[in-house]
Structure 1
Amino acid sequence: MTIETLIADYGLPAICFGAGAEGETVAILAGVVAHRGTLPFWQVTAAVAIGSFVADQIFFACGRYFRESRFVARLHEKPFFARAIAEFDKRPTLFTFGFRFVYGLRTISPVAIGTTQLPASRFVLINAAAAAIWALLFVSLGYVFGQGIEAIFGRLPAHLWLLVGVVGAAVLALLLAVAAHRRRAAASPGTPSR
């Protein structure tokens, strides 16, 4: 199944759901779709933002209202959960805004924040702003990335766009992971400086 077929059959709802369920890869691929002219850029960006916003609201609600559930209990046992709470305690607003930009914290963070005393109304506002900026950033990356590849190689078939998008997202995820690792190494005591 090609990207065009998925978009033709399901359109913006598929992008919205995919952005909430997966994240960066779908947002970047949505930018490529917008570049190809299949759907308008601003509609694609809005669909990505809404999908991300709704998913994080659901995860926040799980942390807030279903703390005793098996799902939340399993997440609570993971080391990333404790890290999310520790970062939240240091800078609640900044962490609530920025968790979606940090690789490895995107799904677990809204659940962790839901278990804190942060008012739900404040989370909604911060989440909406962060989702909009995140969507604009990643859809724009896909849009520009698509434009650059097309300028170099010409118009590619849909299945190659999918491959290009997945590889691009993997490279971006790797760069984010390396940056996060370097920050952790620099922050830990006793680490020799380079």
Structure 2
Amino acid sequence: MLQTAPDSSELTGVAAWAVGLMETVGAPGAGLAIAAENLFPPIPSEVILPLAGFTAAAGGFTLVEAILWTTIGSVVGAFALYALGRLLGHDRLAAIAGRMPLVRASDITKTTAWFARHGTKAVFFGRFLPIFRSLISIPAGIERMSIPLFLLLTLIGSAIWNTLFIMVGYTLGQNYHVIEPYMDTLQWVIIGLVLVAIVWWVVARIRLNRREGKHLLHGE
């Protein structure tokens, strides 16, 4: 018996947008949604991927297509950020950072130095961490990590992550309405954590700038 596909009219927020995209263009829509998730980290793949599994279980497209297209979307989104880092390079990004409020040129230097020590592991294991999976692509580009190696690590890590969550959605099938409220909650929890992290970082940076200003004022 064919299962009922998740209806975008019954969902809210990111979930409704993702399902609507899949309903419009099929499996490539799932890939587009995941590519957007890489470029705009607050869009959680933990919500989009199970919905791709639900849609596959309902016959909207096959399970293989869901995994294939979402993995392509992950790689495309990650490579776009990699290309940005590679195109601008360390010096340009540092110059841009130096003109931005609450951002320092030294932040770029520290990030690229850290990546130089842990780059290969960071690119692979970073695919399993929200937000970080997007940001790690930029220093990879700055450090001009081998493109084939970057794509391979991103492909393998993304395929594992995407398959896991798609299989959850595929297995649950028509019971999507039972867990959808929890996914919506997860979406807001993730966004909330990101906002808290941003606020904490801004406050810490303001305090640091004030301390350094005092040292300069006293000639220390």
Q: For residues 15-30 of structure 1, what are the structure 2 equivalents within 5 Å? A: 15-22=30-37, 23-24=44-45, 25-30=47-52
Work out which of the residue numbers 134, 153, 162 in structure 2 matches 1:107.
Answer: 134
Note the C-alpha offset of 1:105: 1.1
The answer to whether the aligner puts 1:48 opposite 2:70 as a matched pair is yes
CA–CA distance in structure 2, aligned partners of residues 78 and 109 of structure 1: 17
TM-score normalised by structure 1 residue count: 0.67
* Consecutive unaligned residues in structure 1, runs of 5 or more: 178-194
- Given that 2:21 and 2:30 are in contact with CA atoms closer than 8 Å, whether structure 1 keeps it comes out as no
The answer to whether the aligner puts 1:13 opposite 2:40 as a matched pair is no
Query: Helix, strand or coil: the match of 2:130?
Result: coil
The answer to whether the aligner puts 1:166 opposite 2:184 as a matched pair is yes
Work out which of the residue numbers 64, 71, 85 in structure 2 matches 1:63.
Answer: 85
- Given that 2:54 and 2:169 are in contact with CA atoms closer than 8 Å, whether structure 1 keeps it comes out as yes
TM-score normalised by structure 2 residue count: 0.60
The answer to whether the aligner puts 1:139 opposite 2:161 as a matched pair is no
| Percent of aligned pairs sharing the same letter | 23
- Counterpart residue identity of residue 167, structure 2: S
CA–CA distance in structure 2, aligned partners of residues 18 and 104 of structure 1: 15
The answer to whether the aligner puts 1:35 opposite 2:53 as a matched pair is no
Larger Cα-atom Rg: 2
Alpha-carbon spacing, 1:143–1:77, altered in 2? closer, same or farther (3 Å):
farther
Query: Helix, strand or coil: the match of 2:29?
Result: helix
Q: Which has the higher contact order (CA 8 A, sep 6+)?
A: 1
What CA RMSD, in Å, does the superposition of the two structures yield over aligned residues? 3.5
Query: Helix, strand or coil: the match of 1:66?
Result: helix
Match of 1:128 in 2: 155
Note the C-alpha offset of 1:140: 1.8
